[in-house]
Structure 1
Amino acid sequence: MFAARAFGRQAHVLPKWTQFRRVSTLEGAPHIYVFPNAEQANGSHILSLLPSEPTNPDLAIGVSSQLPPTTDTFKENPKFLSIVQEVCSQYAHEDPDAKSQAQVMVSVAGANLSSGGVLVTGSRGRTRRSGGDSSGGASGQGGAGSGGRGGWIHVSDSRRPPDYGRIAWPEDMFGSLEVDSKGQFVGENGNYQPSGTYRIITRDGIFGLSPFLREKLVQKLRELEK
């Protein structure tokens, strides 16, 4: 699954007294940095989207007692999740993927489908496992089957994309955006509604936002870091 991967960076143009620095990232998730947890002597690790040291624990993704992190060894940071939701509320409706999904939802092709829509953040990920009511259609919630009527699309993690025309599992869903009958987002921010069920790590992988939202999130974290 995931493991730590170390990279050494030492440019030849740097002065001789410049120290050699090693930056570790999570294998399979190069955007996540791994640091030893100085506050604990049990060899745990802090996971963060920022490469800065020392790491601010309030801005970190969470802490894992071992690598690769698992659902049993990882403890998520609720403050980080609050920041993620703040960023999604502010920018999810501007995500190119969201705009595309909104247009698909109200298209003529979408009118021929019978289940709910979904926005999967990022272009790659594992195929969802079959079975389970939570992955069923959501025609009552809008989505791909709401051609010409508007409805809701769902902002979801890229680690387990749902089948086409299905909604994401609760632990993979960040929140939802409301779309009108013309494929435009309702209100100033698409009336974004957080799901309240998202989990940073599951058996299918760890936190994965779309490139657009991840960039916005990193910008927000850097602002808070200052």
Structure 2
Amino acid sequence: MNGIFHFSRQTSGPKRGYFRSLSTLVNHPHIYVFPKKSHSEDSILSLLPTEPPLTELAIGSTSKLPPSPDSFEENPKFLEILQLVLEEHAHEDPESISQAQVMASTSGANLGSGGVFFAPRHKRASKFGAAAAGRGDSSKGVSGQGGAGSGRGGWIHVSDARRPPEFGRIAWPEDIFGSLEADSNGDFVGRNGNYQSSGTYRIVTRDGILGLSPFLREKLADELRKQERLARMS
């Protein structure tokens, strides 16, 4: 295996009935692989199946498959779009909603998929403190910032699913997209949960590539399709 899955897809429109070959990353059927024409051994990775791909909307490029931190070159524009989508929709994600509700019901206990409670009095200045220092222990973070049973709202992390943290811990900084603020009832604060980007997220790590929830992945793909249409019309 070279990290690629090949399949044929029927097209629509003027060439309806025509089949073209597409490639995706093994175990990532939503990430398409295209040869990079300027470098025959390099590949472009994209969430869109359109060929040729628009490099400005691609996830990035890699010199080998599957991609590794050493082989992968991320696309800064893609990261910007990713964060804009998270800012707009992360608070609507069923997984985020579930984490906020668990936080409220447990008053700050660990949230399983990367979320952890931080008391609002510390807000932006410290909500990434434990993560920035390394793989933190959620119970320690809670006791230092209000403690279980404080009856206050706090922050949950929105994290990549490629390596779910063990019980009692939060995700690595490189896996954290950002954070959302919720009140003591588990409802997100403000228009969008006051989403804050972590500034530490990496698209590819030794644990794999971009792992969004199905909800957020589709929202991101929708935005990329929208920008692709606009780019091709201009």
Could you say which TM-score interval applies, normalised by the shorter chain? 0.7 to 0.9
Q: What is the total number of aligned residue pairs between the two structures?
A: 210
Preserved contact between residue 134 and residue 172 of structure 2 (Cα < 8 Å): no
1:77 corresponding residue in structure 2: 75
Write out per-residue CA displacement over residues 99-134 of structure 1, whole angstroms, 9 at most, x where no aligned residue. 111110010xx1484xx546559xxxxxxxxxx842
SS of 1:58 mapped into structure 2 = helix
Structure 2 distance, partners of 1:50, 1:105, is 35
The offset of 1:90, in angstroms, is 0.3
SS of 1:8 mapped into structure 2 = strand
Structure 2 distance, partners of 1:144, 1:2, is 48
Preserved contact between residue 2 and residue 69 of structure 1 (Cα < 8 Å): no
1:136 corresponding residue in structure 2: 137
Structure 2 distance, partners of 1:65, 1:22, is 21
Write out per-residue CA displacement over residues 18-66 of structure 1, whole angstroms, 9 at most, x where no aligned residue. 543101000011110000012x234100000000011000100000011
Preserved contact between residue 135 and residue 169 of structure 2 (Cα < 8 Å): no
Task: Return closer, same or farther for 1:17/1:72 CA change in 2, 3 Å cut-off.
Answer: same
- 1:100 maps to a residue whose letter is S
The offset of 1:175, in angstroms, is 0.1
Q: Which TM-score applies when normalising by structure 1? A: 0.83
Preserved contact between residue 112 and residue 166 of structure 2 (Cα < 8 Å): no
Task: Return closer, same or farther for 1:182/1:112 CA change in 2, 3 Å cut-off.
Answer: closer
Write out per-residue CA displacement over residues 189-211 of structure 1, whole angstroms, 9 at most, x where no aligned residue. 00000000000011111101000
Structure 2 distance, partners of 1:135, 1:44, is 37
Write out per-residue CA displacement over residues 55-106 of structure 1, whole angstroms, 9 at most, x where no aligned residue. 0001000000111111111101111011000000000001111111111001
2:130 corresponding residue in structure 1: none
Residue 159 of structure 1 is aligned with which of 134, 159, 162? 162
Consecutive unaligned residues of structure 1, counting only runs of 5 or more, are 122-131
The offset of 1:181, in angstroms, is 1.0
SS of 1:191 mapped into structure 2 = coil
- 2:61 maps to a residue whose letter is V
2:54 corresponding residue in structure 1: 56
Please list, as runs of the form range in 1=range in 2, the aligned pairs for 1:102-113 lying within 5 A after superposition.
102-107=100-105, 110-111=106-107, 113=109
Preserved contact between residue 105 and residue 183 of structure 1 (Cα < 8 Å): yes
Preserved contact between residue 142 and residue 153 of structure 1 (Cα < 8 Å): no
1:21 corresponding residue in structure 2: 20
Bigger helix share: 2
Task: Return closer, same or farther for 1:81/1:204 CA change in 2, 3 Å cut-off.
Answer: same
Preserved contact between residue 175 and residue 194 of structure 1 (Cα < 8 Å): yes
Greater mean deviation of Cα atoms: 98-107 or 161-170: 161-170
1:125 corresponding residue in structure 2: none
Consecutive unaligned residues of structure 2, counting only runs of 5 or more, are 116-132, 230-234
Task: Return closer, same or farther for 1:15/1:222 CA change in 2, 3 Å cut-off.
Answer: closer
Q: Which TM-score applies when normalising by structure 2? A: 0.80
